[in-house]
Amino acid sequence: MNNNILAKVIQDLNVGIVVVDSSYHVIVWNQFMEKHSNIKREAVTGKELFESFPYLPKDWLDLKLRSVFMLKNFSFTTWKQRPYLFKFYHHRPITGSSEFMYQDCVFLPVLDTETSANYACIVVQDMTDIALYEQKLEELKEINETLQQLSQYDVLTSAFNRRYFETQVEKEFSKSKRHGNDFAVVLLDIDFFKKVNDTYGHPAGDEVLKHVVKIASNMLRTSDVFARYGGEEFIMLLTETKFENAQIVSDRIRQRIEESVAVYKNQEIKVTISLGLSRFRPTLKDYLQLVNEADVALYKSKTEGRNRLSIYKEED
């Protein structure tokens, strides 16, 4: 190929081409490099690279170039490893990202067959659009994960919501059907909650709801689920829990709430809860039966005086 044609191609490529000799003096500085550095090739050709660009990472770049000269092999680095080599402004909206062009760089050995001289070529590719796109995707992923997590919680109390509970109890039911694990569902209701609202006001009632959630949640394992089921009614999923242990945990929560007080504007508000417990059996058709049974047991607690735990029995 005609050398003039080859030189023209190198100059017009939409990537940076820099060729240096073994002393790092610049031999080739193409149009891409001129445009983004605002330095004409006449001003940089023949000069040592680090003299013209003192900000370059000298130790790191020296190691890269020496390996090219000694091993006669190529090397490369991506924008993910090192965002940029040359500080070129990218002229895109910054939006929190680097103000400099993201770059992939390839380091190639070049042999002048006529003089047997060795050179190293640095190829600089603008990766800014790809980098910004990937960063935006990562931001969107984080936002979606946050929204997904927020969608699992009740806004007022920060307990899990009913939809999340139903998803988890269905999984637990299927798992127990396959492996025979024990688990329990407990439905609980704040006693005389309407009286709290009527006496102290709805903001105080909200504080009572948060108070109950805080106590109960702190007494459960991370594998358990405590969710707001509706109004002043909550539901617990006690995963992989023996029936006797489920009773103990549920009644301890009841006792702890009875012994505590919720505080709203320096007013101490005492409340109690009623609970109904049902346990998994292999003969059950689906998790809805468990919830219905817990509801039957809860109704029994209410009719028998409240502030108590009732266990579902089939004769009920």
Q: Single out the catalytic residue among 166, 172, 232, 293.
A: 232
The answer to whether 293 and 286 are in contact (CB under 8 A) is: no
CA distance 105 to 160: 49
Alpha carbon separation from 47 to 23, 152, 308 (Å, rounded): 10, 62, 88
Confirm whether 232 is a catalytic residue: yes
Number of H helices, E strands in the chain: 11, 12
Greatest extent of the chain over all pairs of C-alpha atoms, in Å = 104
Residue at token pair 């005492």: 270
CA distance 19 to 27: 5
Collapse the DSSP code of 304 into the 3-class scheme (helix H, G, I; strand E, B; otherwise coil) and give the result: coil
- Contacts (Cβ under 8 Å, ≥6 apart) of 136: none
Q: Strand order in 16-21's β-sheet?
A: 26-29, 16-21, 117-126, 103-112, 75-77
Q: Are strands 309-311 and 273-279 parallel, antiparallel or unpaired?
A: parallel
Q: Which contiguous run of DSSP H or E holds residue 196?
A: helix 193-200
- Contacts (Cβ under 8 Å, ≥6 apart) of 225: 160, 164, 165, 168, 169, 236, 237, 239
Tokens of 299: 């109704």
Task: List residues with catalytic annotation.
Answer: 232
